[in-house]
Chains A and B, each alone.
Chain A
Amino acid sequence: MTGSAGSGGFVEVAADPVALYELSLAEGWGDGAPLLPPTEDRLEALLGATPHDRGSVLGDVPPRFGTATVELVAVNAAMAGVEPRAFGHVLAAMQAVLEPDWNAFGLTTTTSSVCPMLIVNGPSRDVLGIDYRAGCLGGAGGRGSMTIGRAVSLCLRNIGGQRAGETSRTVFGQPARFGLCFGEWEERSPWPSLASRRGFLPSQDVVMVHGGKGTYPLADVNNDDPRDLTYAIAKSLAFPLNNWYLELTGDSGQLVLLVNPMWARRLGEAFPRVEDFQQALWDDAWQPAQLFRPLNRAVLDEKGRIDAGGRVRLASRPDQFVPVVCGGLGGLHGVALTTFVQSEMQSVAVPPS
């Protein structure tokens, strides 16, 4: 299937960065921060870095169902400053976003703050500047992380027409809606990488897209036993206003648990198999029904969320807790990328360039 990019014609602007920025704000195709001009040479460099034809159609992007051609994605990627060698990651991320079970239809229009959170595995992390060490969620400033995530957000905005307060009913949004892309510190993980666990080879570059509601911080210095730490993490994840408790079941969605390398080493000793760590998280990721006030408890009961033991479990299965090792060596901290629930993580391999 093919299509033509630029269905709205062409933009002409004085070759001046400030003029470009001002026009992007005036016409609404900017995200509020300065952009680079998607000049012909830059566009051609991006398009030359992919085996896809420029007119190839990735799909129709909600909420307005604009058609995403490779060329139109390239225009937005160029504005975000994506390097040609990273363009495959942008296309892979967009393919993942357009998978029906990622549920872009719901996620782009919800009142929630959910957005695509990109997790990268593979050998190209360093060369592309994908942050996976200190400050990987923000502040590290790797070019790959900052531009790939932003390019995907620009595509949702400009191709899908996602606009807060208009087509998107998000109440708060979140900083990650500007773009969030980080890697896994595979070399410091005691477990197979996330991509490996999802069936890919270590030699492959893979982009996972998680529908994440936000970055929920965890911290601990009180638990020396990694099993106690796991218990404390699990109880923290099962906070009473977790989105999972809104649903009729806990069957869908994943929670991504970012584990710093120091915790990872301790947890890996206690749980050599990642499945055992996931099981331990699931075992304790619940709250007693009595924790909830009576009317709240009644609603949970009506939804069938209270089990025979009086537990209100967060999720239905251990595999819905997805550990990813990343972050600095300072230890102490973890982060939960909580779930929208009505979204399943998607993975797409980047074709070799």
Chain B
Amino acid sequence: MTAVDADRTVWRFPRPTAAPRGDTAAPTATLDGPIAGRRIGLRHEGSWRSWLLIVDDWVGRLRAHGAEPVVLQAGGRVGIDGVRTHHDITVWADEVEAGISGLGTCGSCTSNSVRDAVTLEALGKPAVVAVCGEFLQHARNMARYLGHADLKILELPYPLEARPADELREIAEAYYPRFVDLLGGRR
């Protein structure tokens, strides 16, 4: 496949890079109706206390609007933990009708949040990934490389961590409508 010119004035060789995945974008889904009576998933990793507070706040709001929140704590990604996490996510994705996965506020946690949202979206269910602004492009990239370029993203302020609880509750309240809108739900 390679050739070198006879006079060796040119080096010619296969380009050392590979084409990325992501030429196709899987379809997205929306609830297209009220959230009342629907099982809405909220996924966290147990790491980011800001996101735990927001999830906790949204659980209350979803219940107030007649939805049934289903919270998942995703654990480790390798070894026995990884097997368990994969199982838990599969069960969660089957159980809920739509959901949000977060929090993307580091590199691997953004990648994993996107991957778990993609698991949901691959089942034809409305899915959103929650990402802080600094990691927005990374989330878009990962969604594309996982074949779900149109995955819906809820952009949250950055940084979220280390903000006072009152401020986080204000953020939770402010962004809840957008979260429901991205699912295509009505309150």
Contacts and interface: CB of A to CB of B under 8 A. Distances in A.
Interface of A: 5-15, 20, 29, 37-41, 43, 60-68, 71-72, 75-76, 78-79, 100-103, 105-107, 109-112, 154, 158-161, 166-170, 246-249, 251-253, 299, 303, 341-344
B76 A8 contact: no
Nearest 5 pairs of A and B residues by beta carbon: A66-B18, A6-B14, A169-B107, A64-B20, A8-B15
Interface stretch (B5-13, B27-35, B90-98, B169-177): B5-13
A159 B18 contact: yes
Contact of A167 (B12, B47, B49, B141): B141
Contacts of A7: 15, 18-19
A111 B9 CA distance: 43
Given A43-B13, A248-B47, A342-B76, 13 more contacts: A11-B12, A15-B11, A38-B2, A64-B145, A65-B20, A66-B17, A66-B19, A105-B112, A106-B112, A158-B18, A161-B18, A303-B46, A342-B108
A76 B4 CA distance: 17
Contacts of B112: 105-106
Nearest to B112: A106
A65 B81 contact: no
B157 to A, nearest CB: 18
Contact of B9 (A10, A15, A246): A15
23 contacts: A5-B14, A11-B15, A12-B10, A13-B10, A37-B11, A38-B14, A39-B4, A39-B11, A43-B13, A63-B142, A64-B21, A66-B18, A72-B14, A75-B15, A76-B16, A105-B108, A105-B111, A110-B106, A110-B108, A169-B106, A246-B47, A251-B80, A342-B78
A10 B11 CA distance: 10
B79 A107 contact: no
A252 B46 contact: no
B1 A15 contact: no
A203 to B, nearest CB: 29
A254 to B, nearest CB: 11
A12 B12 contact: yes
Contacts of B78: 100-103, 252-253, 342-344
A191 B20 CA distance: 44
Contacts of A101: 78-79, 82
B135 interface: yes
A6 B1 contact: yes
Contacts of B178: none
A112 B108 contact: yes
A247 B74 CA distance: 12
Contacts of B111: 63, 105-106, 109-110
A102 B115 CA distance: 17
A110 B107 contact: yes
B16 A60 contact: no
Interface in B67-86: 75-82
Contacts of A10: 2, 12-15
Given A109-B107, A112-B108, A15 B79 contact: no
Given A12-B11, A251-B80, A109 B18 contact: no
Contacts of A100: 78, 82
B110 interface: yes
Contacts of A13: 10-11
Nearest to B114: A109
Contacts of A65: 20-22, 145
A235 B154 CA distance: 42
B61 interface: no
A29 B16 contact: yes
A107 B81 contact: no
A105 B109 CA distance: 11
B109 to A, nearest CB: 8
B108 A38 contact: no
A79 B111 CA distance: 30
B65 interface: no
A101 B22 CA distance: 23
A111 B47 CA distance: 15
A251 B11 contact: no
